[in-house]
Amino acid sequence: MGIRNTVLAAAALNTTAPATKEDRAPAEFYLNIGIETGDPQFPFLDLHKSGIALDRVPEHEIRGDADTPWKQFAASQDALKAAMMQEAETLQPGETRVIARDEDTGICIQLRRVNLTKNEQPVVAVQLNGLSFRRPE
């Protein structure tokens, strides 16, 4: 069975209807990839308009007794998400923290906890003149 057929067969098995925006609680924790700008109004320019909704990343459904490489990989992904959620939950509402930074490019990974009481909305686009992915030397 080719990849296309496997994907189609898996899609046919998915009988649960996807949740609509109205059905889901708003995400509280986000993982963002971007750069620190130094601009006080927009201190972080992220790659995606809202980042990865960390608390919406589903855990794998690992079944069966056999210990396979896929099961080990899936369990590792779940452990990584759990570790990131544990760190994210230490943030106060509205707080952000850069958890990794590449010194050569300035690219960062940022955790953000949304302040749900203020209905915080992500910034869709920001224009910053002279923005560079390389830090000045």
Ordered per-residue pLDDT tens for the chain, 137 residues: 444 444 444 444 444 445 565 566 789 999 999 999 988 888 899 988 789 999 999 999 888 877 899 999 999 999 999 999 999 999 999 999 999 999 999 999 999 999 877 555 544 334 444 544 444 33
The residue extents of the domains of the chain are: 27-57+68-128
Helices (H) and strands (E) in the chain, counts: 2, 5
Q: Which residues pair with 86 in a beta bridge?
A: none
- Report which residue type is found at 43: P
Q: How high is the pLDDT of residue 119? A: 53
Q: Which helix (H) or strand (E) holds 15?
A: none
State the Cα angle at 55 between 95 and 40, rounded to 5°: 25
- pLDDT value, residue 65: 79
Burial 29-66 (b: 16+ CB within 10 A, else e): bbbbebbeeeeeeeebbbeeeebeebbebeeeeeeeee
CA separation for the pair 69, 2 (Å, rounded): 20
Q: What is the DSSP letter of 54?
A: G
Distance CA 66, CA 69 (A): 10
How far, in Å, CA of 106 to CA of 33, rounded?
11
Q: Supply the pLDDT for residue 94.
A: 93
